Amino acid sequence: MPKPQLRSVDSAPISAPPAFSFQSVSRHFGEKSVLSNIDLTVPQGQFVAIIGKSGCGKSTLLRLLAGLDQPDGGQITRAPVQPGQSSIRIMFQEPRLLPWARVVDNVAVGLTGLASRSEAKARAHDLLEKVGLSDRDGEWPSVLSGGQRQRVALARALIGQPSVLALDEPLGALDALTRIEMQHLLSRIWQTQGFTAVLVTHDVAEAVILADRVIVLDAGKVALDLAIPLPRPRRHGHPDLAVYEQKILAQLFGEDGAQA
């Protein structure tokens, strides 16, 4: 069984150019410091999970990455994108589908202003096939299950071929079995398309089964940067995964051995 690798951000090996980098980034809301001097570099194509207790700054970090908020200090750099590719797309816990638009049009809206209507629809059909919903393209969102709506949201987020996909607890509202199915789907699409993925989650098992690297935030700082060098596909309940889950839980709850 491989020993978990505890790495600092600065010493983490980088085998590809950076997708983005946070340099001494801070964010405050009034007197409250939410993020404090965050240094984080993520190479292109890596799957990173951000985990921590409520209020630790996970979603704030994701919003800063996506450009939905601005830091109070420090700098965020993002790699330039290729022609025809969008920079960063974000997927939320709620699907946020347009109730008056059919499934295919909900996906195609992700290319508004970037492609012709016919091209957008063609790409939408292709992505719906990839997420297993090619037979539901003409349906209204209201008739879909929660998992199906999230598949549509994933297709919409991917239609612009983003270099970075930011995921803000997108599977948190799903039932356990649907969540596992969506984890497998997300992993498969990430491996096929090669984008950089940044997942915010409260679920330690989800972080370990999906990510190459898990970042634990505590009080607005990086408390742990842990590589998950396990082969894919990964299966829930495998004993190798439990080693990494325990390391993360130890850090989160201050148990003995968190820094071993």
DSSP secondary structure, 120-152, as one string:
HHHHHHHHHHHTT-GGGTTS-GGGS-HHHHHHH
Helix (H, G, I), strand (E, B) or coil at 239: helix
Please say if the pLDDT value at position 220 is more than 50: yes
Helix residue ranges per DSSP H, the chain: 58-66, 103-108, 117-130, 146-158, 176-193, 204-210, 239-253
Structure tokens given for 7: 């790495």
What is the pTM (predicted TM-score) of this model? 0.88
Distance CA 36, CA 220 (A): 5
Handedness of CA 211, 80, 56, 3 (dihedral sign): positive
**pLDDT at 95 (0 to 100):** 92
- Name the DSSP class of 214: E
Q: What is the pLDDT of residues 61-95, one digit of tens each?
A: 999 999 999 999 999 999 887 765 568 999 988 89
**pLDDT at 258 (0 to 100):** 44
Structure tokens given for 142: 């209201």
**Out of 5-14, 129-138, 242-251, which region has the weakest mean confidence (pLDDT)?**
5-14
Closest among 139, 148, 127, 133 to 101, alpha carbons compared: 139
75 or 15, which is more confident?
Answer: 75
Banded model confidence at residue 101, pLDDT cuts 50, 70, 90:
very high
User: Where are the chain's structural domains?
Assistant: 5-79+163-253, 95-162
Closest among 210, 201, 205 to 92, alpha carbons compared: 201
Distance CA 78, CA 133 (A): 32
174 or 22, which is more confident?
Answer: 22
Spatial contact of 236 and 100, defined as CB atoms under 8 Å apart: no
pLDDT average, residue stretch 32-58: 93
172 or 215, which is more confident?
Answer: 215
Please say if the pLDDT value at position 36 is more than 60: yes
Spatial contact of 25 and 73, defined as CB atoms under 8 Å apart: yes
Helix (H, G, I), strand (E, B) or coil at 217: strand
Answer whether CATH 3.40.50.300 is correct for domain 5-79+163-253: yes
**Out of 15-19, 60-64, 188-192, which region has the weakest mean confidence (pLDDT)?**
15-19
Q: Give how far Cα 254 sits from Cα of 7, 52, 174, 184, 201, Å.
A: 18, 12, 29, 31, 19
**pLDDT at 34 (0 to 100):** 92
**pLDDT at 16 (0 to 100):** 84
pLDDT over 90 percentage in the chain = 70
